[in-house]
Amino acid sequence: MKIINVVGARPNFMKIAPIHNLMLRTEGIEPVLVHTGQHYDEKMSKVFFEDLKMPMPDIYLNVGSGSHAVQTAKIMVEFEKVVLEQKPDLVLVVGDVNSTVACTLVAVKLGVKCVHVESGLRSFDRRMPEEINRLMTDVVCDYLFVSEESGLENLENEGIPHSKIFHVGNVMIDSLINHIKTADKSKIMKQLGVEKGKYCLVTLHRPSNVDDPKNAKILVDTLKTVSKKMKVVFPIHPRTLKNFGTMNLLEGFSDNENIKLTDPLGYLDFMKLMKESMFLLTDSGGIQEETTYLGKPCLTLRENTERPSTVTQGTNILIKELNKKKIMMHIDDIISGRLKKGKVPKYWDGKTAERIVNMLKKVK
């Protein structure tokens, strides 16, 4: 059985790695790794592939950046050539990026069965491009692999047949479990001069947070206040860096020894920092899941989340209103030891890739 596994952006790497690596060891399955190049930084991509012990992609499409329409169209044009040449039995996509929906549409229109890993997640906010990608992908895919119970409910409410839906768990947690011991060997904390449990780790990239001058200023002011209490480690997204620079918001960072601005980090270095931090301040999706597994406090700066189990069961707190006073109230609770207690959702056990591959072996 020939299966094309698609990656397009860095979050995809952590989801594909356990699946692709297991397929390579599974008799009767021939996996082909296709990188669309939706997000591509040669240095960072190389680091991620090395960290995750993945072979380099068999096929690289080199589509680059562009508007959603341009990027999606370029991926479809190039991926169609791959499908026609490779003649796969299945195409497997993960997550919710433009590569996900583009490759799905190509596959199903060519009559190739398509698998969506991390299916059924919903923010119920159609202003998010990712939400549109999720909805469209789930409607046309043949097999839907769900990471948490909310996904089962959402797909049922949308009228998706039960025969297409499989609750397999969270494959990102497979990657975390597979590499956590290696991450412990990282020297990143020494390089940054931070100590275990004495710093906050920050990631910000959502347009609502970093493109809006008012919101960006609130966040920068908040980080400056946090830095008076502890060190702040901030691997800064290229667009965030550009926007903050344009808005003249970086001036208060350069002379602040407690704010550690870094380039984007590799998977193992970031995991080490996440594991040893006091808490995380983020607008990412996947980090909400990883912190829940690690039992690490996470403050998510978004109006909504497509991963509600991280809030209802895990350690995630959703900060719906971007208000410095409210953010600091939660941070002071964490510093004082008033932590939210969480538990790990069902099937977040490091065996999700195994469940997926075993089910795919039965596909006719």
Q: Which residues are catalytic?
A: 205
Contact 161, 183 (CB under 8 A): no
Q: Which residues make Cβ contacts (< 8 Å) with residue 46, sequence separation at least 6?
A: none
Percent composition of the chain: helix, strand, coil (DSSP 3-state, to 5): 50, 15, 35
| Type of residue numbered 187 | K
Which residue bears the tokens 């409410």?
Answer: 157
CA atoms within 13 A on the CB side of 98: 20
Contact 240, 205 (CB under 8 A): yes
With b for 16 or more beta-carbon neighbours within 10 A and e for fewer, the 306-331 pattern comes to bbbbbbebbbbbbbeebebeebeebb
